[in-house]
Structure 1
Amino acid sequence: MMKKAIASILLGCAVAVSATAFAAGDAGNTNTTSGAQQGAEATSSMSHGEVKKVDTSAGKLTIKHGPLKNLDMEAMTMVFRVKDPALLSQVKVGDKIDFVAEEIDGALTVTKLQKQ
């Protein structure tokens, strides 16, 4: 009788551990996938704006923009660094643009840009 009880306890523990490991593994995969999807959506969703100033010597753009959803920012006019200085030659004051801004090394930086 004692052997049966020990076997039942061991079997119960093995099932519980397996179920916990399976659930944790499943949840981990779900979180990783959704995190990657959220990152891709944030990067691919462009914001709209108007170029107010182009400062090629400083590598910066002043943009009057709508909400920046990926950065949780409201519409405003502000200065951004540009990741690639070549982007500055593509625009001039008054141009309507679509762009992606990200926080890189503590500075808001335009990483993608295209004229509307």
Structure 2
Amino acid sequence: MKKLITALSAALLAAAAFAQAALPSVEGEVRKIDTETKKITLKHGDIPNLEMTGMTMVFRVKDPELLGKVKPGDKVRFTADKVDGALTVLSIEPEG
């Protein structure tokens, strides 16, 4: 039974990693960072997996450490998806 649980856990982790890797990378610009609420405001292009056109909006971040990688005004590439019903940035990197 323990081996089955270990195998299932490994399969779920692999599936989650694959799903995140399959998300499209989107161009954007950081407008605001709120470390207290763990949110970031991005002006972004279309996000196909969310069927969202380009706009400026607030996202949660999956990992608060992501907020330390960028600052307002930075051009970025990021991935986003719905996590627990909220639009969430899963990865973000400054361009250039």
| TM-score range relative to shorter protein | 0.7 to 0.9
The aligned length equals 79
Tell me the equivalent position of 1:76: 55
Q: Kindly state the Cα deviation for residue 45 of structure 1 after the two structures are TM-superposed.
A: 1.8
TM-score (norm 1): 0.63
Larger radius of gyration: 1
Structure 2 spans left out of the alignment, 5+ residues: 1-14
Q: Indicate the structure with greater helix content.
A: 1
Q: CA RMSD in A?
A: 1.8
Q: Indicate the structure with greater strand content.
A: 2
**Among 63, 68, 71, which residue is 1:89 paired with?**
68
Tell me the equivalent position of 1:10: none
Structure 1 ranges of 4+ moved more than 4 A: 39-42
TM-score (norm 2): 0.76
| Pair 1:59 & 2:38 matched | yes
Structure 1 spans left out of the alignment, 5+ residues: 1-35
Q: Percent identity?
A: 53
